[in-house]
Amino acid sequence: MLDLRPRSDRLAQHRGWPQAMTSRAYEAPEALRGVEVFAGSGVVLDGRPQQAVRYERADLYPKQEAALFTPARYAVIEASTKSGKTVGCLIWLHEQAALHGGPGRNYWWIAPIRRVAKIAYLRLKRYLPAGSFASNETEMTITLMNGATIFFLGSENPDTLYGEDVYAAVIDEATRVREQSWWAIRTTLTATQGPVRIIGNVKGRRNWAYKLARRAEGDGRKNYHYAKLTVWDAVEAQKLTGVTMEEAEDARDLLPEAVFKELYLAEAAAESEAFFQVEHIGVIDTAPTDLRLVRTWDFAVTPDTDAVDPDFTVGVKMGFDGKRTVIVDVVSRRAAPDTITKLVQATAIGDGESCQQIIEEEKGAAGKMMVDLFRKLLAALEEPTGRVVAAPVTGGKVVRAFHFAAAANDKRVVLVKADWNAAFLAELDDFPDEGHDDQVDAAAHGYNHLVPVGVPRVRFLG
Ligand SMILES: Nc1ncnc2c1ncn2[C@@H]1O[C@H](COP(=O)(O)OP(=O)(O)O)[C@@H](O)[C@H]1O
Ligand SMILES: [Mg+2]
């Protein structure tokens, strides 16, 4: 089965601690070609002894399972942020390949861009039992033991999405996929009559995915199925999704209604805009000298050897002049603890006397310990100036980023021209759908610390 537990739980299991998740097992005859192999089981097929294979579908919450595992060929799902879109679809596509696949049968995972497809690729690799598949990093393919291959593709170029022998497909974050790409995928699936799962956040009404959803919803024909997964569904399935009632209510109370509706309730707002409208963020050549400065850190320490898609340690330096917020510098690194320690020290010293160094103070003992370590790390700066600050964070990521986004969309955020600009803007542009959000998180935290609240929210709504 796919192992969806966070890495900390996997480690717990290795140490013999109780499992965080269980799964419902069932025997599927087709699975003889498939997934987990138990040698020496005595099963004979076509006169040849086989290795028995048992397939277990990972746990899904009932609405998630009903949305995806429908007999309908076309299933369209409009869903909340963090409702388990990506994970659910990975389980579905893998099952298609594992139970119905074979040599030469291909399965496609399509994301708006290749970089986002890679996140899903790395996630599936992490979920699959070791030794049960072969993978090709450059091609981003996973080949199961039955010979079926799962391809992870970006939708940038529709011409690359015409193919043969594609037996099932997922279009993740469909509202960000171009209509021409959808036509290509649909044509490709005609040859095999393969099923497709189309899933994403709602993003206004002017896109093919929205129109297809309406058709699936209204159309009584059997080969279409429509489902909606809201944040309340995700909260009900908190054990799996980790989304708490507190977080959902916080988002509802703090976000403009239209934003909450689209991102959390999967309902189109009349006029919908990107969360960060990056075209409103300007670039200047040098930072003004009269800024109040902070550098906010978001830590992720991962060994280089980990073949997952780890987060980055990010330090965002920004200043405020009473009106405009200037992003002065961004450092972003994936590295082992030693390297991160050196990076943080060197960066903080380089930032100079006038720049506060801020860390998120997370809840609980681990959060306190982290703050303590951070203070020790920057002891040289702590005394005598006391510019190391632990600031608590509250609410979900979207809520936390709201004021910063409002300022950016109101043309009150600029970047100092540098190499990191493009990656920073790309992350803002993707937020909150896909990809990493370490830079957004650090920047939002810095902004909330630096700039007095009371940002006119109405500007954001346009
Ligand atoms: N059925 C499930 N089993 C285990 N974890 C799940 C399941 N559904 C969602 N999750 C967890 O919930 C979180 C959000 O899921 P994800 O698929 O990334 O959401 P989305 O793509 O909708 O933003 C992830 O941490 C994921 O591991
Ligand atoms: Mg997702």
The structure tokens listed for 459 are 């500007």
Q: pLDDT at position 457, please? A: 38
Q: pLDDT at position 434, please? A: 65
Of 41-55, 113-127, 173-187, give the lowest mean pLDDT range: 41-55
Find the radius of gyration of the CA atoms of the chain: 24
Cis before 384? omega within 30 = yes
Task: Please state, in angstroms and rounded to a whole number, the distance separating the CA atoms of residues 294 and 429.
Answer: 23
pLDDT tens readout for residues 188-225: 999 999 999 999 999 888 889 999 999 898 877 778 99
Cβ neighbours of residue 290 under 8 Å, at least 6 residues apart?
A: 321
Q: Is the pLDDT of residue 42 over 70?
A: no
Q: Is the pLDDT of residue 31 over 50?
A: no
242 lines ligand 1 (CB under 6 A): yes
Per the listing, tokens 């601690």 go with: 17
More confident: 447 or 8:
447
pLDDT average, residue stretch 449-456: 66
Percent of the chain at pLDDT exceeding 70: 82
Q: pLDDT at position 369, please? A: 84
Give domain 60-271's CATH superfamily. P-loop containing nucleotide triphosphate hydrolases (3.40.50.300)
- Beta-sheet strands, E only, within 55-138: 74-79, 106-111, 133-136
pLDDT tens readout for residues 78-105: 999 999 999 999 999 999 998 888 889 9
Do 55 and 100 form a contact (C-beta atoms < 8 A)? no
Of 10-14, 84-88, 340-344, give the lowest mean pLDDT range: 10-14
Minimal-distance CA residue to ligand 1 atom 20: 82
Do 110 and 170 form a contact (C-beta atoms < 8 A)? yes
- For residue 112, give the ligand nearest its CA: 2
Percent of the chain at pLDDT exceeding 90: 51
Per the listing, tokens 């507190």 go with: 246
Considering the domain 278-450, what is its CATH architecture? 2-Layer Sandwich (3.30)
388 CA from centroid of ligand 1 (Å):
35
149 lines ligand 1 (CB under 6 A): no
Per the listing, tokens 């093919």 go with: 208
375 pLDDT band (50/70/90 cuts)? confident
Give the residue extent of every domain in the chain.
1-58, 60-271, 278-450
Per the listing, tokens 């944040």 go with: 231
Pocket probe for ligand 1: among 64, 65, 95, 241, the residue whose CB has the most ligand atoms within 8 Å is 241
DSSP labels, 365-426: HHHHHHHHHHHHHTHHHHTTT--EEEEE--S-HHHHHHHHHHHHHTT-EEEESSTTHHHHHH
Task: Please state, in angstroms and rounded to a whole number, the distance separating the CA atoms of residues 404 and 445.
Answer: 9
82 lines ligand 1 (CB under 6 A): yes
Cβ neighbours of residue 445 under 8 Å, at least 6 residues apart?
A: 296, 298, 358, 360, 391, 393, 400
- Which residues sit opposite 389 in a β-bridge? 358
Instruction: Identify residue 105 by its one-letter amino acid code.
Output: R
Q: Is the pLDDT of residue 301 over 90?
A: no
Q: pLDDT at position 302, please? A: 55
Q: b/e string for 295-317 if b means 16 or more Cβ within 10 A?
A: bbbbbeebeeeeeebbbbbbbbb
Q: Is the pLDDT of residue 308 over 70?
A: no
Q: How many other C-beta atoms can be found within 10 angstroms of the C-beta atom of residue 75?
A: 25
60 lines ligand 1 (CB under 6 A): yes
Do 143 and 35 form a contact (C-beta atoms < 8 A)? no
Do 314 and 442 form a contact (C-beta atoms < 8 A)? yes
